[in-house]
């Protein structure tokens, strides 16, 4: 429009003037319609960011933070859990999907309303990291953007972050989401070589009961397949696997649905974890608490279903995925005990993240 308006009005015919006027009216109506459907961003200050902590972990004072806490290391504390450290990129908090069992209910003390850090602050924190030759002991790192929010809940903001990672060749950004195809359009416009994508996908009936505001599992699979076909590395989390009465049939069906559409680079399994804050704030929010009825054991990562049932679930999923042609070596388990991984004959390195590497 600016180039159009630069034309000398005196040289326009009455018809052209009328056309330009009509076009201007159309554009105003289009902007008005677009703004009507948009949701204003609620921002969160950097000071508030630094106060947010995971209820099941703690950061030791000597660990480095960047951007006043926008980038920090997630560090597990219980020795009996086979998980390690990874870097969080805290660009946003909360989630609009309202899953009944979400651990963010505890982390955010029930406030799931999405809040966003100013993009310029996030990009500045990344500049700080990229310029630090001693960051992560000089080793490449993966920055998880989906630990405190859904990575794709604001595509226009995430676009700026993934593009920032394209300005360097050492580190990668990790996107974890339950969103569908409409939220991946910016990823399909061009492939970012330093972006890894992952989708959390549950069985159809489980999703209907406890992930009611999230896109359907099939919609998530379609989104993941599109991104994979475009050339991205895509991983899938089948987590949490609930031991519902027909869990074998439900999760076998999910495995078929995923592998018939594309082959993930990695499949991550998990079973329900019940941190006390999650349970408390889920009850306060009036969530369907049926998911919490399966807990019978206490571990270093909250309450879990019985070790017997967990072993049965993992063994079944490993065998089923392998029978479908998926390599066992590309299957991992999230936030599980070292004794369980040993029982399953899974080799793991202490203090190494099983999901993100």
Dist. CA 212–CA 98, nearest whole Å:
7
What pLDDT score does 60 carry? Answer: 47
What are the sequence ranges of the domains in the chain?
2-37, 46-343
Summarize pLDDT for 232-277 with one digit per residue, the tens: 999 999 999 999 999 999 999 999 999 999 999 999 999 999 988 9
DSSP string computed for 50-82: HH---TT----TTS-EEGGGTEEEE----TTB-
Q: Taking a C-beta distance cutoff of 8 angstroms, is the pair 219, 180 a contact?
A: yes
**Short-list 96, 58, 97, 51, CA closest to 75:** 58
Half-sphere exposure in the Cβ direction for 175 (13 Å, CA)? 29
Q: Taking a C-beta distance cutoff of 8 angstroms, is the pair 145, 116 a contact?
A: no
Beta-carbon count within 10 A of 130 CB:
16
**Short-list 141, 14, 33, 39, CA closest to 86:** 141
What pLDDT score does 34 carry? Answer: 45
pTM of the model: 0.84
What three-state secondary structure class fits 198? Answer: strand
Q: Taking a C-beta distance cutoff of 8 angstroms, is the pair 218, 262 a contact?
A: no
Summarize pLDDT for 319-343 with one digit per residue, the tens: 999 999 999 999 999 989 889 999 9
What three-state secondary structure class fits 107? Answer: helix
What pLDDT score does 325 carry? Answer: 97
Beta-carbon count within 10 A of 231 CB:
13
Beta-carbon count within 10 A of 189 CB:
10
What pLDDT score does 249 carry? Answer: 98
Q: Taking a C-beta distance cutoff of 8 angstroms, is the pair 257, 218 a contact?
A: yes
Report the Cα–Cα distance between both ends of the chain, in Å, rounded: 48
Rg (Cα) of the chain, in Å, rounded? Answer: 23
Dist. CA 260–CA 255, nearest whole Å:
8
DSSP string computed for 313-356: HHHHHHHHHHHTT--GGGEEESS-BHHHHHHTT----TTB-TTT
The answer to whether domain 46-343 has CATH 3.80.30.30 is yes
Dist. CA 310–CA 241, nearest whole Å:
9
The list of the chain residues with pLDDT below 70 reads 1-40, 50-64, 76-77, 351, 354, 356-357
Q: Taking a C-beta distance cutoff of 8 angstroms, is the pair 73, 63 a contact?
A: yes
Summarize pLDDT for 200-243 with one digit per residue, the tens: 999 999 999 999 999 999 999 999 999 999 999 999 999 999 99
Residue 135, preceding bond cis, omega within 30 degrees? no
Contacts of 60 (CB under 8 A, 6+ apart): 75
What pLDDT score does 17 carry? Answer: 57
């Amino acid at each position: 429009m600016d180039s159009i308006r630069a034309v000398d009005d005196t040289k326009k015919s009455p018809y052209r003037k009328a056309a330009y006027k009509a076009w201007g009216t159309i554009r105003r109506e289009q902007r008005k319609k677009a703004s009507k459907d948009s949701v204003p961003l609620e921002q969160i200050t950097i000071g508030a960011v630094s106060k947010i902590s995971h209820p099941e972990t703690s950061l030791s004072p000597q660990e480095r933070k960047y951007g006043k806490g926008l980038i920090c290391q997630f560090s597990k504390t219980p020795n009996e859990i086979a998980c390690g450290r990874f870097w969080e990129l805290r660009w946003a908090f909360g989630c609009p999907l309202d899953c009944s069992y979400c651990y963010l209910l505890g982390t955010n003390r029930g406030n799931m309303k999405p809040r966003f850090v100013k993009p310029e602050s996030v990009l500045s924190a990344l500049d700080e990291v990229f310029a630090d030759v001693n960051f992560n002991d000089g080793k490449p790192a993966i920055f998880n953007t989906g630990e405190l929010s859904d990575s794709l809940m604001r595509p226009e903001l995430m676009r700026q972050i993934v593009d920032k990672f394209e300005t360097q060749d050492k580190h990668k950004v990790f996107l974890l989401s339950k969103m569908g195809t409409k939220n991946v359009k910016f990823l399909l416009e061009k492939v970012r070589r330093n972006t890894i994508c992952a989708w959390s996908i549950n069985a159809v009936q489980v999703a209907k009961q406890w992930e009611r505001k999230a896109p359907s599992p099939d919609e998530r699979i379609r989104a993941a397949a599109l991104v994979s076909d475009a050339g991205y590395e895509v991983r899938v989390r089948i987590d949490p696997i609930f031991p519902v009465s027909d869990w074998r049939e439900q999760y076998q069906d999910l495995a078929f649905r995923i592998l018939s559409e594309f082959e993930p680079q990695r499949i991550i399994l998990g079973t329900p974890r019940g941190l006390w804050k999650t349970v408390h704030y889920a009850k306060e929010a009036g969530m369907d608490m049926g998911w919490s009825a399966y807990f019978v054991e206490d571990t270093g990562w909250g309450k879990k279903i019985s070790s017997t049932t967990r072993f049965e679930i993992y063994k079944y999923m490993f065998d089923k995925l392998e029978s479908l042609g998926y390599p066992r070596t590309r299957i991992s388990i999230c936030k599980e005990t070292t004794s369980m991984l040993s029982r399953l004959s899974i080799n793991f390195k202490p203090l190494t993240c099983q999901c993100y590497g």
